[in-house]
Amino acid sequence: MGHERVGVLPRSRRWRAVVKEITEAATSEAGTQRVASATLWNVRRRFAGMEHDAGVQAAFGYIVGLATAHLTGDATKLIPRVDLDANPSALALGGDLARWVSAHAESQEYAALATRAAADAISEWTRQNSPKMELFPTHSLTADLWRRTAEGGAFSEVSRLFFAKLTERYLKYFLEREASAELTLRERELFTARLERHVDALSRHSFETTRIAQSFAAGWFNKHARSSRPSDESLISFLAHAFGKLRAELERERLG
């Protein structure tokens, strides 16, 4: 697939350190380790075979559609022709994305989370790259903005945002679930308050975890999508590779 080979990736903070900070004074060291390990195991289990879900495929396909909107060619089953001529805002693109994924949804859970992750990635990319950091463009810039993703480096950044947001949502969900089973009612209240205060740490950890996916997204795009619209089969192959790498990374940290 032409991706960069990456070994063990450095992490500013290990997952157990993040969990310990959130659960501090609410559980024991052993309890913290159980919560941290169970959370990673559950996210890894959710990611197994996720590339086969049509809703997930369509959500990522929409991002590919944005990056290839300037190219000729018909829409495929999973990759839409996105019309940028009307200069849609990030919110308008999010609505279009939701309709696209809804038409392909199999698992409502996967479809909903993948839609939110893709919408978050679109909003974040728009915020980071728009003049004056505008989410509501007042002049024609949307086509030019997304044209920047029509090369491997920029596309890999948007891809990483998608995988990071998806990972973050699952980590938060299972962290809350596992902590609830471990803690008393009073401790759960303390945990919930600390979780809200440390959401940035959770987000940062998710972003660092998904660097493994970014490392080969550029190579895939340059080979399969830079000069022509990619096939659905190529997109599914990319997702299988990405989720496989993420599962391996989650397991490495769970056992580390």
Convert the pLDDT of each residue in 84-136 to its tens digit: 888 888 999 999 999 999 999 999 999 999 999 999 999 999 988 877 655 55
- Tokens 């920047």 label which residue? 148
- Residue 63 domain-assigned (yes or no): yes
Residue 9 confidence (pLDDT): 43
- Residue 6 domain-assigned (yes or no): no
- Residue 243 domain-assigned (yes or no): yes
- Residue 3 domain-assigned (yes or no): no
Domain span at residue 126 reads: 15-255
Beta-carbon count within 10 A of 75 CB: 13
Number of residues written out for the chain: 256
What is the distance between the alpha carbons of residues 146 and 135, in angstroms, rounded to a whole number? 13
- Residue 124 domain-assigned (yes or no): yes
Q: Which residue has the higher pLDDT, 151 or 134?
A: 151
Beta-carbon count within 10 A of 182 CB: 20
What is the distance between the alpha carbons of residues 117 and 115, in angstroms, rounded to a whole number? 5
- Residue 2 domain-assigned (yes or no): no
- Residue 38 domain-assigned (yes or no): yes
Query: How many domains in the chain?
Result: 1
pLDDT at 26 over 70: no
- Residue 8 domain-assigned (yes or no): no
pLDDT at 77 over 60: yes
pTM, to two decimals = 0.85
Residue of 99, 87, 90 whose CA lies nearest to 58? 99
